[in-house]
A and B are shown apart, each in its own frame.
Chain A
Amino acid sequence: MPLVALRDLHKRFGATQALRGASLELEPGSIHALLGENGAGKTTLVRALYGQVAPDSGEIAVDGKPVAIGIALVHQHSMLVPALSVAENVVLGERGSAFLPRARLHAEAAAVLGRHGVAVEPGALAESLAVGEMQRVEIARALARGARVLVLDEPTAVLAPSEVSALLQLLVELRARGMSIVLISHKLEEITAVCDRVTVLRAGETVASRPLAGLDAAQLGRLMVGDALPPPGRPPETEPGPVALRLAGLRAEGLAGIELELRAGELVALAGIDGNGQRPLEEVLAGVRPLDAGRVELLRPPLALLSADRQRTGLVLDLSVAENLVLPEAAHGGMPPVFHGGALRSAELARAADEAIARFAIRAAPDDPVRTLSGGNQQKLCVARALRARPGVLVAVNPTRGLDVGATAAVRDELRAQARAGTAVLVVSTELDEVLELGQRIAVLFRGVLLELPAGERSREAIGRRMLGAAAA
């Protein structure tokens, strides 16, 4: 009998069906990889296991009982109290005597840490530890409290290479002692190094659960992204014109040398798993992240950007639809026709807003605060605003994230239409379907560099492999 069994879980959040038949079985003494694209339901599944999320239907059994006990979740970011010592963090929240002499406290903590091979000084402040040390302290603390199942959500994303091997070493030791471990990771080498079994989620559903032995990168990539169904939309057929945007060796925090030439009338799509440089690239193009090296050569200005985070950086939620539409034109003293000598011309503003609302079918009035709009209408407003500048280069980051089917199609159609009209369009998306539907050329963002897809190799498998960093050549 498995130690943990999650069977046929369903969970809906508002309009999103996060889980639709997800299952996971864990054996004692094993390390289990949980794999899937962004939004495939990995986090929801482990939160259901941990008891943070109540599934709408399905069965949860730990040791045959329907309660989630003995499960510990280790987050990417430390949950230790930074200003307390390691020893204090270890005992924090435990029931015990009201007074605990420091010497005994340190001795107890040292015993807990030593039992699990974590070499950290009990008196050190948590904030003085390296990220990897914090993680190992958290694991030791969880084990000291009787955890039998350890879930690690992308634990190595924030670690230096030496810390990664220390963590993996600890996991292997714990397995030998009978622990059951779930490792969520996108890094193939880590998975193949330590995991025994793999469960693959796709769109909230468990599509595979099998021993890892015998699976290669290509097969894992295909399991993750699905079979090569013909995409419903197709990239536009246009003749690329002169170079409109050249990214020459961009290096910044999170970018390790991006090289890209984007031509007028061309639609290039960048795939990749979140956290591989999407946000740094967006911020560099928005001009809010400094470059360490390299150049952004904008040969056909202006550049308009559809931000991935439309609620934080894309729109000012407390301003109205009309005001958000023209906000970039208010910069530097105000541009005609809506602004004239710094003054706002109400009639022109109303006309601009009415036009945008009609053209992009935005369901809102010009004076409505943007906060009251649905995600789809907010994104349509972002598109309307980006196109007002008549951009020579249009960059869209996850342009359909969170949108329903209709709004998604409308936004993708508009991006294709822009390319046909001669705009150079760059789409950065973590959704594979989107990349295949839009990109005439496709490249994969992986750890801050671009892995370009050869023209003949336009398959989900080829992209999936590069998303995991394999077959870079």
Chain B
Amino acid sequence: MKRARVFAGPIAATAVAFVVAGVWLALLGADPLRALGALVGGAFGDSLALETTAVRAGPLLLVGLGVALSFRCGIWNIGGEGQVAVGALAATAVATRVAAGAPGLVALPLALLAGTVAGALWAGIAGVLKVGRGVSEVLSTILLNFIAALLVAWAVHGPLQEASGAYPQSDALPAAARLALLPDLHLAHSGLVLAVLLPLAIWALLFRTAAGLRLRAVGASPEAARYAAVSPELETVRVLLLSGALAGLAGAIEVCGVTGRLFENLAAGTGFTAIAVALLARLHPLGVLPSALVFAALAAGSGAMQRSAAVPSVAVQVIEALVIFFSVGFALPRRESA
């Protein structure tokens, strides 16, 4: 695939979605230019808006990368939501219980690692079920989302609930387990550095390693891969572990860098929006960064649009849906149609 072509489809899809959204806003009686202007201003207008967008893009980017990887391998991991949740849960458990008194050099890496491993194992359950029992990963990952949500609910009502017992949420994470803010910024935490590095790393994995070639071969033709001595089963488990690890890390970064506590519905919707992020990026790791920014900007700018153009913020969900709709039309990965 030529790089220019990779980006042309998604950009066209986003542009057309905005035009159609503008027409729709006009029909609602709003001034479309003003409303969309407010949306963009709310996402990129000042430094705080930019930071908000960046912070929201972080988890979308990580989970989106994992989704792109697994889809490339022909594995439909719909469980980003649950993998984020268990990642957040494990990071919180380690930070507030296991390594509560540890210094920053220990507590933070340990919390992030715990989240990553938990996400990987959570997705790994779906991998083992698929390889061992032939259970469709679409079903198992979706169902694991519900289990993960209930697990978090139980934890914040039970073993991880804050010491005061006032609210169903965990204690605040000790400072040693928090991700520091980037210098001179108010919201953007140091975890976002990963957001720039990981797409490159995943790109290299996919296109510059034996593992990446195996993964893409299995995604394109499991039979031909098997004849070439590549085991589709092994690759299935591997890609789910990796995909889940990325989502689990996203969950851990969310508690260590943004919320500082665990509570129910933390980062709710991230796992599903990340699927749209991956599809808009045409499953290309380098496309996931701009794609995550588009969806983060829509979320970040919705408040501003509501305030200044008197358009309900649900309108943003319509625009998100239009972006996905047109990205499927413009930018469907080619092997989908094969």
Contacts and interface: CB of A to CB of B under 8 A. Distances in A.
Interface in B207-223: 207-214, 216-217, 220-221, 223
Given A327-B228, A328-B229, A343-B210, 11 more contacts: A286-B227, A307-B227, A314-B227, A318-B334, A318-B338, A323-B217, A326-B213, A329-B210, A331-B210, A334-B209, A334-B210
Contacts of A331: 210, 214, 228-231
Given A330-B214, A331-B229, A344 B208 contact: yes
A319 B335 CA distance: 11
Interface string A270-300: 0000000000000000111000000000000
A203 interface: no
A342 interface: yes
A343 B226 contact: no
A359 interface: no
B175 interface: no
A336 to B, nearest CB: 11
B310 interface: no
A360 interface: no
A288 B227 contact: yes
A432 interface: no
A305 interface: yes
B225 interface: yes
A332 B220 contact: no
A327 B213 CA distance: 7
A342 B214 CA distance: 11
Given A331-B229, A332-B229, A318 B220 contact: yes
A316 B217 contact: yes
A313 B223 contact: yes
Contacts, number: 86
Contacts of A334: 209-211
Chain B CB within 10 Å, residue with most, of A307, A319, A331: A331
B268 interface: no
A288 B230 CA distance: 11
Contacts of A316: 216-217, 220-221, 224-225, 228
13 contacts: A314-B224, A315-B224, A316-B220, A316-B228, A318-B335, A319-B213, A327-B228, A330-B217, A331-B228, A334-B210, A339-B209, A344-B210, A344-B213
A342 B212 CA distance: 9
Interface of A: 286-288, 305, 307, 312-319, 323, 326-334, 339, 342-344, 346, 371
A333 B210 contact: yes
A442 to B, nearest CB: 26
A223 B334 CA distance: 48
Nearest to A345: B208
A330 B224 contact: no
Given A342-B209, A343-B208, A319 B228 contact: no
Contacts of B225: 316, 327
Contacts of B209: 334, 339, 342-344
B213 A330 contact: yes
Nearest to B227: A313
A307 B210 CA distance: 23
Contacts of B227: 286, 288, 305, 307, 313-314
Given A312-B221, A319-B216, A342 B210 contact: yes
B128 to A, nearest CB: 21
Chain B CB within 10 Å, residue with most, of A318, A323, A329: A318
A173 B260 CA distance: 85
Contacts of A332: 229
Nearest to A305: B227
Interface in B192-220: 207-214, 216-217, 220
Contacts of A330: 210-211, 213-214, 217, 228, 230
Contact of A342 (B211, B231, B334): B211
Contacts of A371: 338
B230 to A, nearest CB: 5
Nearest to A302: B229
B228 A328 contact: yes
Contacts of A339: 209-210
Nearest to A286: B227
Nearest to A340: B210
Given A316-B225, A344-B209, A327 B230 contact: yes
A339 B208 CA distance: 9
A268 B221 CA distance: 31
Contacts of A286: 226-227
A326 B210 CA distance: 9
Contacts of A342: 209-211
Contacts of B207: 344
B213 A312 contact: no
Contact of B221 (A317, A328, A329): A317
A318 B334 CA distance: 9
Give the 3 A-B residue pairs with the shortest CB-CB distance, closest first.
A334-B210, A330-B210, A331-B229
Given A328-B229, A331-B229, A317 B220 contact: yes
A305 B212 CA distance: 24
Given A327-B225, A327-B230, A319 B210 contact: no
B238 to A, nearest CB: 12
A81 B338 CA distance: 27
B221 A318 contact: yes
A228 B217 CA distance: 45
Contacts of B210: 329-331, 333-334, 339, 342-344
Nearest to B226: A288
Contacts of A317: 220-221, 224, 338
B239 to A, nearest CB: 15
Contacts of A318: 220-221, 334-335, 338
A297 to B, nearest CB: 19
B213 A323 contact: yes
Chain A CB within 10 Å, residue with most, of B207, B209, B226, B334: B209
A312 B229 contact: no
A314 to B, nearest CB: 7
A370 to B, nearest CB: 10
A313 B230 contact: no
A313 to B, nearest CB: 5
A427 B207 CA distance: 35
Contacts of A305: 227
Contacts of A323: 213, 216-217
A333 B231 CA distance: 12
